[in-house]
Amino acid sequence: MDRLRRYGVNPYNIAVIHGGPGAPGEVAPIAKELSDEYGILEPFQTEESIDRQILELKNILDKNASFPITLIGHSWGAWLSYIFAAKYPKLVKKLIIIGSGCYEAKYLSIMNDKRVNRLTKEENVKVESLFKTLNDINSKDKKEVLEEFGKLMSKSDSFSPIVIENEAIDFYPEVFKKCMDDINNIRNNGELLNMGYRIKCPVVAIHGEYDSHPYEGVKEPLSKVIEDFKFILLDKCGHSPWNETFAKGKFYEIIRREI
């Protein structure tokens, strides 16, 4: 698989970073929407640790981007972009994070409660089974399992989705498991949040009010560690604002203004 898609023309000084982890292609709609006005890079992350994904992203951007760059990261990609901006502050002009996960573990119970309450009893049993399979080193067909798991999470995270199917072009279960283990470790020990002190560029966080990832777990921690931080909450909006009936227009209006 090619690890990069380009949209628009030079200079390529904006990159959209996908979520998952292990679900490349899902932020293509953002890149396409902005490509009439900007040169956009959509790099794919395939490595099985945060450090290796950061290096992978750095290598792709070194070869294709015009620095300093604006990073637009969604979900897992929001975390990855945040970590990249902390590690390479001189390379990032602006950071826009969309539907980011929490930066402190104390907010996880809110997310879990929301997801449980939004799914049926049968769906919750299925989620538990799928999650166990993803963590079983002996299980097979994990790609299909991750895809099914993602669909249930998308259902719980969406308010009024325009498209039901996930637009990711592939799924990488081992990337998902190992990178989530990594992020949980550095979130639990405080390293993730402390990285914010090293970010020097303006940071804008866009979050759907209905997103299962609690906005408080983004707004409150990051406002303490990032000097130039703006938080925008979208009404009637879930985890992926570009795919929400009532929020899509406002979302792109904000993106264009903030770029």
Q: Which of 194, 222, 4 is nearest to 97 (CA)?
A: 222
pLDDT digits (tens, 9 = 90+) for 17-64: 998 776 677 899 999 999 999 999 999 998 989 999 999 999 999 999
Q: β-strand 39-43 against 4-7: which pairing, if any?
A: antiparallel
pLDDT of residue 127: 87
Maximum Cα interatomic distance, the chain, rounded to a whole number of Å: 50
Number of alpha carbons in the 13 Å side-chain half-sphere of residue 108: 8
pLDDT of residue 170: 63
pLDDT of residue 42: 96
d(Cα 169, Cα 162) in Å, to the nearest integer? 18
d(Cα 137, Cα 174) in Å, to the nearest integer? 10
Low-confidence ranges of the chain (pLDDT < 70): 1, 22-23, 137-138, 140-142, 164-173
Query: Looking at the chain, how many residues does it have?
Result: 259
CB distance 85 to 92 below 8 Å? yes
pLDDT of residue 50: 95
pLDDT of residue 19: 87
- With a CB cutoff of 8 Å and minimum separation 6, the contacts of 137 are none
d(Cα 53, Cα 31) in Å, to the nearest integer? 20
pLDDT of residue 66: 97
Domains and CATH numbers, the chain: 4-106+166-258 (3.40.50.1820)
Q: pTM score, two decimals?
A: 0.92
H or E element, residue 39: strand 39-43
pLDDT of residue 167: 60
pLDDT of residue 3: 85
